[in-house]
Amino acid sequence: MLNLSGLSVKYGGFTAIKTLDIEVEKGELVVLLGSNGAGKSTTFRAISGLEKPSEGEILFEGNAIGGKSPDRIVKSGIVQCPEGRELFHGMSVYQNLIMGAYVHRKKKSEVKKSIQNVYDLFPILREKKDNAAGSLSGGQQQMLAIGRALMSKPKLMMLDEPSIGLAPLIVEQMFEVIQKINEDGTTVLLAEQNANAALKIANRGYVFESGSIVVEGTSEQLFTNDAVRKAYIGA
Ligand code: ATP
């Protein structure tokens, strides 16, 4: 479904990611692991059209999308749920969800149905639909960010550090929901520092270090890899 080949991105003279090869099959849940600054967000930004690759190719369902505009990329079926959530804090939960459907200009009845699906997945958002996004707890804001991303009915959803800053119990619920979204048919690419939780739900993963992939494999292989355990699982 998604193929990155020889992908590099530079910020000025600094190469943030170097000749990456990544493949995601339809239906998979794939995790990108790595510490702060390893290049996970840059990879997402390149896929979303927010950064232009300096080298290499990004294919989505066989079409070259590298360097295309973000709105075209969303229209093609990719959505990014950014690190830090980037909600519209002064707008209500409902209005934030509506914004997620903006690019598609769908019929009102379809948008309403998508909102009901998001409310079914996150009942707390239904309860708080008229509250300002900025008044929600961290966990609820993350649910809203995921809900807003789902409003575009993505084929591929990229989630950047959804567990960051959340209490352990909420993290557990968040990962359960991500797994459910994947089981319901959305392919998921997840960037995480919480390797333990991410590998429990992922099929496969890639480990980033300083802009390159240093290890890749099935979740089982990564979970039992000594270097990965030492660096990211702490055992
Ligand atoms: P984090 O979880 O902290 O976002 P990450 O693995 O997603 O980490 P990136 O944000 O992709 O890493 O950063 C990769 C490298 O690129 C880092 O060295 C970072 O300092 C650098 N970088 C990121 N954004 C920019 C930018 N806009 N200008 C210059 N350098 C940048």
What percentage of the chain's residues is helix, strand, coil (to nearest 5)? Answer: 40, 25, 30
Query: Among 7, 9, 14, which is best to mutate for testing ligand 1, by the most ligand atoms less than 8 A from CB?
Result: 14
Q: Cα 14 to chain center, whole Å?
A: 24
Identify which of 45, 39, 1 has the alpha carbon closest to the alpha carbon of residue 20: 39
Q: Cα 65 to chain center, whole Å?
A: 17
List domains and CATH numbers for the chain. 1-77+156-235 (3.40.50.300), 87-153 (no CATH)
What pLDDT was estimated at residue 176? 93
Reported as a single tens digit per residue, the pLDDT across 50-101 is: 999 999 999 999 999 998 999 999 999 999 987 777 888 899 999 999 988 8
- The closest-lying atom of ligand 1 relative to the alpha carbon of residue 38 is 6
Q: ipTM strictly over 0.90?
A: yes
When pLDDT is averaged across residues 192-198 and rounded to a whole number, the result is 90
161 C-alpha vs ligand 1 centroid, how far in Å?
13
